[in-house]
Structure 1
Amino acid sequence: MKWQTIPEMVLSAADRFGTAEAVVDGPVRITFVELADRVRRAAGALASIGVDKGDRVAIWAPNSAEWIIAAFGILTAGGVLVPVNTRYKADEAADIIRRSGAKAVLVQKGFLGLEYSASDDVPVIDLKSDFLSSGAPFECQISGDDIADIMYTSGTTGRPKGVMMNHHQTLRMFSEWCDLADLREGDRYLVVNPFFHMFGYKAGVVASLIRGATILPVAVLDVDQVLELVETEKITMLPGPPTLYQSLLSAPNTRDLSSLRAAVTGSADIPVELIRRVAKELPFQTIMTGYGLSEGGTATASRPGDSFEQIATTVGTPCDGIELRIADDSEVLIRGYNVMQGYLDDPQATAEAIDTDGWLHTGDLGKLDDEGRLSIVGRKKDMFIVGGFNAYPAEIEGFLLEHPAVDQVAVIGVPDERMGQVGKAFVVTKHTVTEQDLLSWSRERMAGFKAPRTVEFLDALPLNATGKVMKDQLR
């Protein structure tokens, strides 16, 4: 590989792509040369407040040019990036920031009405202030084996775990991703996937810098804005969840979308008819689907020439250097350079996830067809996916049990036409409470994708002999 670290790759883009546009965010237009300069200055600003090699810095903010500069500034200062889900409420975000040991938090003040207040002497810095441009240019010496980022994924026990990945892993994986997704130099890439997620940050921002594509960040997904940007900015690359393409298909025919060339989707069951319509009714020349997880990056992908059926019903074959097998209980196991370095400060959970032979136990259930293509058929621990976001019943149940009227609760995912799946809660109460009260209470305390959409009241939950809820009976 030609680069050892992500900062080396990012800063080299100045020489590789010069004055081409690197980032377009509203009126902000930044060339690759300017981006490298801003990243070095951001690194200097972070170093000036004491961020040193290996220190963690959290970003709790929506997609923006400043997010990109801050993230690469953190890495260039020698730090470790900790992206925080913007859909979290303040308490959820604070838990992650505290447990990550973040030395500073970068936020966008007032986004979605959320405010993070400083605690434990952790400085809170507004991304939109002049902080990022205030430092003297700086670069820290780091190696490819150093941890680059810690992405938090909700565990089935309900407590998010910090997945550690190093520089080498990300560079190798997303260099290959560029080929599989047909990302090219000069592409104009509308990044609707959130930067706090691997899809947005690594398959979006990092991949664009590897290949020399222009990044156009979208802070909040608004289909009208997406259509306008596709037309006015001549977008060529538009990955996203299946719901995005459904929205494009149902949009009025008044927009010029002829620039679109490459689509990438995944993370949910995709109707074959949707892929067929995307290929037939939209200008896309290539459509890729894949399977990935925080602990193992993008593990499988479809290949050019795959049929609509294969793209929709499977997640492709393993990427280079990645082994895949199906365990006796149908769990998908993955092994290779892509497997995480472990969960932060959680050796027990790490040992449970990665066995002594190096196989990562994904928790997903799958099967392989005769040509080695993987299909995901279910989730070992009942996780469900809401509009592309993983929702974990145990975590949601933990929140609901805090309500004074709730005695017992079980949450499952149920089909939803727009979101793929949404949560349904089965509740045994201590005293009377209405469905509407519980739903409103949930929405105030949980990210929107986690909050149940319906509640069914029961006299008792169906339990097996060991006292565990039999969720298959609830379904």
Structure 2
Amino acid sequence: MLTHVRALLTLVRAGVIRPLGPRGLSGAVSGYVHWDITLAWGYATGAARHPDRPAIIDDDGQLTYAQVHKRTTRLANALPVQPADRVAVLCRNHRGFIETLTACVKIGASTVLLNTGLSRAQTSQVLKDQKVTHTIADREFAHLIPEEPTTWTDELDDLIKSGSDANLPRRPPRGRLIVLTSGTTGAPKGARRPEPASLGPAAALLSRIPLRHGEVIAIPAPLFHTWGLAAFQIGLVLGATLVLRRKFEPEQTLKDVDQKNCTAMFVVPVMLQRMLDTPRRPRLRIIASSGSALPPPTATRTLEEFGPVLYNMYGSTEVSWASIATPDELKKYPGTAGKPPEGTTLAIVDEQGREVAAGETGRIFVGNEMLFDGYTNGTGKEVRQGLMSTGDVGYWKDGLLFVAGRDDEMIVSGGENVYPREVEDVLAAMPGVREVAVVGVADEEFGQRLAAYVVAQKDLTADHVREHVREKLARFSVPRDVVFLDALPRNATGKVLKRQLHP
């Protein structure tokens, strides 16, 4: 009961729940009757509450909430898609992505979000595995899509113009949203995302990230990724204006923040690193980062140059969110993942499932309203007492969570447990190091050893790198192999593809 009261108060403070006039109330009720708490309900409500407010600003201009609601109804009537179909979406950040997802909800079709960084072979395999019946894609990705029914996003406007305004059936089948895992350690898997049954998930994020109703939010984070998708969904709940660009350019993103009067921005860490290399420092209330590990030096520099506006969310496609670090927490401990938000349970346990003491490393398990429903191949994540494994290990310090790394990345070198993430954090703070990744490799003498891959800003030697680690960590954490690269291999969301690194 107390949790529900706190969630309600959070939504009231954020302006999500507030008095509605007759028109706003009618729109919210009508949208709920038709589509439950979904994207379609969000735009129906927005069209009634603030019809003329910009909903989307992108490379093609601006659309209001009323326009998006009307256009998606027409698109739903015009698309060659039936209820229960599976529609693959392969788009960059623009109105076509949002309107396609919303129209599919109105139809009752499921959507599969494709990563723009996949190869043709991977894309073909995903389409086959997910039993996709239709694809909607940007034409630039035509070379990735095998011969099958496809609608290009540059054709959507014509479909919308030809589509009918006729009312759609109430309560169509509840389509599923399928997000692909990052595939950094293997082939991407389809993860069935749950549809929120209430505004509780929004309240959870808002309890740690103080977004408000009517924000103007820049979203350079890819919409097909869990974090970009979360930004879109929370923005819709807030009646926000979403500022999108097809391609991320750090200078253009910060220029948009100034010119569009953005108050918040959702990024993945590598984007933040690139924006710090530009001279622009626009005013923002909130910079929300997630999607991969936030290097402590990047957190510190962001707080110094942008002010106390950085929030770092730790989570995954499977568990949604686990914890969120606030600016004050990041200032004190730049490497922290923060605390669980409202309605979230987080436990760190040993191999027997017993909670470990503060300072001891164990496996991270999470419970919240948005745990995924399993992979589409029938597998899932380990669950213990209602909590789901994140696949990471971590520890508590001063009541804050610290993530030590992936549980499958830990190596045993000469009988000692070593976590590559700890070495990465030390090297990321080393003067002259721009980027770094550390992995475990086989070793005849010690069983395993560490290899460091370094992108340097100035002349560094392998001995410099080893000596820096030797000064900060135990001797068994010193990487034996040090390889200098021009850039680390990354996927479309900025995660390092460690499987592509070889000593």
Q: What range describes the TM-score normalised by the shorter chain of this pair?
A: 0.7 to 0.9
Q: Secondary structure at the match of 2:271?
A: helix
Matched, 1:264 2:288: yes
Q: Which residue does the alignment assign to 1:340?
A: 372
- 2:70 is aligned with 1:37: yes
CA distance in 2, matches of 1:116, 1:170: 37
Match of 1:124 in 2: 150
Query: Please, which runs of 5 or more residues in structure 2 have no aligned partner?
Result: 1-7, 9-27, 352-361, 411-419, 429-436, 441-448, 458-485
CA drift of 1:51 comes to: 1.8
> SS of the residue aligned with 1:38?
helix
- Are 1:209 and 2:242 counterparts? no
**Range 211-220 or range 312-321, more displaced:** 312-321
Which whole-Å CA distance do the structure 2 matches of 1:200 and 1:375 have between them?
23
**C-alpha contact (below 8 Å) 2:184/2:495 kept by paired residues:** no
| Whole-Å separation in 1 of the counterparts to 2:304 and 2:315 | 27
Q: Give the root-mean-square deviation of aligned CA atoms.
A: 3.6
Q: 2:121 aligns with which of 86, 91, 95?
A: 91
Alignment: residue pair count = 396
Match of 2:332 in 1: 309
Which deviates more, 377-386 or 210-219?
Answer: 377-386
Per-residue deviation, residues 400-455 of structure 1 (Å, max 9, x unmatched): xxxxxxxxxx997745569xxxxxxxxxxxxxxxxxxxx9xx99xxx995387764
Give secondary structure in 1 for the equivalent of 2:264: coil
Question: Residue 341 of structure 1: SS of its match in structure 2?
Answer: coil
**What is aligned with 1:70?**
100
| SS in structure 2 of the partner of residue 29 of structure 1 | strand
Q: 1:90 to 1:411 in 2, by over 3 A?
A: farther
Aligned to 2:82: 51
Same amino acid, percent of matched pairs: 22
Match of residue 190, structure 1, among 218, 225, 233:
218
Residue 450 of structure 1 is matched in structure 2 by 497
SS in structure 2 opposite 1:5? coil
Against the structure 1 CA distance between its residues 235 and 164, is the aligned structure 2 distance closer, same or farther, given a 3 Å change threshold? same
CA distance in 2, matches of 1:277, 1:451: 26
User: How big is each residue's C-alpha offset from its partner over 1:203-237, in whole Å with a ceiling of 9 and x where there is no partner?
Assistant: x2111111011111122221122132222222221
Structure 1 unaligned segments of length 5 or more: list them. Answer: 395-409, 419-438, 457-475
Instruction: Tell me the amino acid that sits aligned with residue 197 of structure 1.
Output: H
1:251 maps to 2:251: no
Q: Structure 1-normalised TM-score?
A: 0.73
CA offset at residue 287 of structure 1?
Answer: 1.9
Q: Mark the CA change 1:171 to 1:281 in structure 2 (over 3 Å): closer, same or farther.
A: same
CA, structure 1 residues 175+91, in 2 after alignment: closer, same or farther (shift >3 Å)?
Answer: farther
- Indicate conservation of the 8 Å contact 2:218/2:242, yes or no: yes
Please say if residues 189 and 236 of structure 1, whose CA atoms lie closer than 8 Å, have aligned partners that are also in contact.
yes
Matched, 1:222 2:249: yes
Tell me the SS of whatever aligns to 1:160.
Answer: coil
1:112-144 deviation per Cα after TM superposition (whole angstroms, max 9, x unaligned): xx524444xx4111011123443324545448x
Q: Which amino acid aligns with 2:318?
A: E
Distance in 2, matches of 1:99 and 1:271, equals 35
SS in 1 for 2:314: strand
> Do the aligned partners of 1:187 and 1:236 also contact (CA within 8 Å) in 2?
yes
* Aligned pairs (5 A) from 1:433-472: 450=497, 455-456=502-503
The change in CA–CA distance for 1:12 and 1:246 in structure 2 (over 3 A counts) is: same
| Secondary structure of residue in 2 paired with 1:289 | strand
| Match in the other structure for 2:403 | 376
Corresponding residue SS for 1:23: strand
Q: Counterpart in 2 of 1:281?
A: 305
Please state how far the C-alpha of 1:308 moved relative to its aligned partner: 0.9
Q: 1:80 — aligned with what? A: 110
- Please give the alpha-carbon distance, in whole angstroms, between the structure 1 residues aligned to 2:276 and 2:185: 38
Letter in 1 for 2:152: D
Query: Is the CA contact 1:70–1:132 (under 8 Å) kept in the aligned structure 2?
Result: no
Paired residues of 2:299 and 2:330 also in contact (CA < 8 A): no
8 Å contact 1:146–1:166 — kept in the other structure?
no
**Contact (CA 8 Å) 1:272, 1:309: kept in 2 or not?**
no
Distance 1:333 1:416 in 2: 33
TM-score by structure 2 length?
A: 0.70
Change (3 A) 1:215 1:158: same
